Amino acid sequence: MPQSVARERPELSDRAVEHLHLLMAESQILADLGMGDVMITVPVALTPGPRPQPAVGTAMRVVSHTRPATAQTMYVDDQPNREVDDDLAEFLREAWGRETLTVKRDNVTHRQVMAVPVTCDSYTLGVLSLHTDGPEDGLSRMDLFYRDSALDLMRMARVGAWPTPGLPTAPGRGAPRVGDGVIRLDARDRVSFMSPNAVSAVNRLGSSPKVMGEFLTDVLASVLPKGQQVDEVHMGVLRGRMANYAELRRGRAAVMFRSIPLKFDDDRLGAILLCRDVSELRRRERELDSKDATIRETHHRVKNSLQTVSAMLRMQTRRAESEEARRGLAQATGRVDTVAMVHDALSQMSEEAVDFDAYFSRQLRTIVDLAATEGAVEPVLEGSFGELPGRIVTPLALVLNEVVTNAVEHGLGGRGGMVTVTAQRRRPESTEPDPSTGGVESGAEPSEELVVTVSDDGAGLPADFPVGRWAADEKTEPRLKPRGLGSRIVRNLVLGELDGAITWGHRQGGGTTVETIVPLYTDSR
């Protein structure tokens, strides 16, 4: 929505548009503190001039609508892009030119609307309004503190002092919200109000019994980290002087604080501190980190074990008496090495997203060197695999190992040449699998397809080789049944593990081309 405002008002600076973005992002805090719906509205038509005003009788259009989490919403239907009713529109047009907070009450329904113009760089961006239900004399003491804090934020928004630009992101997950706990500091930085959840959160840190009227930095002195540089951030947040986040820990207890300084003109009003007990969240994060470390260590140990197996296979290869036995053991060694390399890669990165380019760029040279017996073979890698889910890395690596090895050993036939591996992603073609053919039925369509082509400039496929396509969602013709062990491995991996397709064909100009298509899903498949 700010983009549409920017298009309609080209005179607005980039900073003003970004301020509108930030206000929309922070409006949840205002809605929760004010216990009402927050809207940002703009006039459909403005008068020309250096300081545009709403045209007489023009409609007011909603560009942002935020519902409260602390009260019942006033509007069941979404309001963005809608025009408000004529009575409210007249009130909002008047609020556009006011320099103070304007209030409109309905004595029949007891509803009220509080509105201020939002300004930045001397431009009025829109009207910020808070829509609430019920008379204020029925509010509790805590509700009044909330409402007063919301009105302070609205007054700051009028002069562009809130939201604060450049607010750092929260350190880790668990950014505090209004419902998690609210602390109000007065102009002297002393605690003047604490919500029940805030009391519980601060008590988790072992605070002294007396908190009201005290400095939070004194109350929590025992858990403040030592060191001048760190203390400056925590002191600034706990005293409400710095718009930032700070997390304090005591044993296994952890509480995150967020400070929103309140300042109007040159007068400091105090600060709003939002706090959240993130102890359980941090405990789960520690468990996940521990599990992740365990999985990485497991991959490392598996890699070591496979390298031991590979070494024993090499020893057996040297002791084999027949050429056929040596060739079979060498192929088995290559397959074990491929799986070992995959586990080595998984031990260094997340299983959820593996940088396959970094892995395969090293592995391709190794495969070619082991397979080439005579002549110089030049491997070429084009395109990019990108990050792939860990579940398909091992089968894909084995498939490429078999195909590239075949290209060197059989395609080039022991002489020199070039083997090119090309990887690219593309949008999948819209196809409907036929369950009657034995294809794999998936509950979701792939978001992308990885297409990997391996080609060589060798002698080409034998005349009796079953040229064609194998696919998981298609019935394989009898003539295309694989004959050799390598072909059977490739077919089983592509169709069974990768749920994809592979096509063997002749390369234009001589040689062989093998195209492998792997569907990539956005879900957890």
Sorted by where each begins, the domain ranges of the chain are 2-158, 178-277, 295-348, 350-520
What's the pTM value of the predicted model, to 2 decimals?
Answer: 0.63
Which residues share a beta bridge with 275? 257
Within 13 Å and on the Cβ side, how many CA atoms surround 180?
Answer: 19
Domains 2-158 and 178-277 share a fold: yes
Domain 2-158 has CATH 3.30.450.280: yes
Long-range contacts of 209-217 (CB under 8 A, 24+ apart): 214/190, 215/189, 215/190, 215/191, 215/239, 216/183, 216/185, 216/191, 216/273
Which residues, 6+ apart, have CB-to-CB distance to 280 below 8 Å? none
Chain centroid to Cα 342, Å, comes to: 26
Amino acid at 446: P
Give me the count of residues in the chain.
525
Token pair 């700070």 in the structure block, residue: 246
Rg (CA), the chain: 33
What DSSP character marks residue 82? P
Full 3-state SS string of 379-425: EEEEECCCEECHHHHHHHHHHHHHHHHHHHHHHCCCCCEEEEEEEEE
User: CA-CA distance, 71 to 69, in Å (whole number)?
Assistant: 6
Who contacts 443 (Cβ-Cβ below 8 Å, separation ≥6)? none
Rounded (10°) CA dihedral 28, 29, 35, 41: -50
CB 51 within 8 A of CB 9: no
CATH architecture of residue range(s) 178-277: 2-Layer Sandwich (3.30)
Q: Which CATH architecture has domain 350-520?
A: 2-Layer Sandwich (3.30)
pLDDT one digit per residue (tens) for the chain, 525 residues: 566 776 778 888 888 889 999 999 999 999 999 999 999 999 999 988 778 899 999 999 999 999 999 999 999 999 999 999 999 999 999 999 898 999 998 877 778 999 999 998 888 999 999 999 877 667 788 999 999 999 999 999 999 899 988 888 887 788 999 999 999 999 999 999 999 999 999 998 887 778 899 999 888 887 777 664 456 888 999 999 999 999 998 888 999 999 999 998 888 999 999 999 998 988 887 777 777 777 777 777 877 887 888 788 888 888 888 888 887 887 788 778 777 777 776 666 665 677 888 878 888 888 887 777 677 788 889 999 988 888 888 888 888 888 888 888 877 776 778 889 999 998 876 544 444 444 444 446 778 889 999 998 887 777 777 677 878 766 766 666 666 777 788 888 888 888 888 888 888 878 888 999 999 886 544
What tokens appear for 2 in the block? 């700010």
382 C-beta neighbours (distance < 10 Å), count:
10
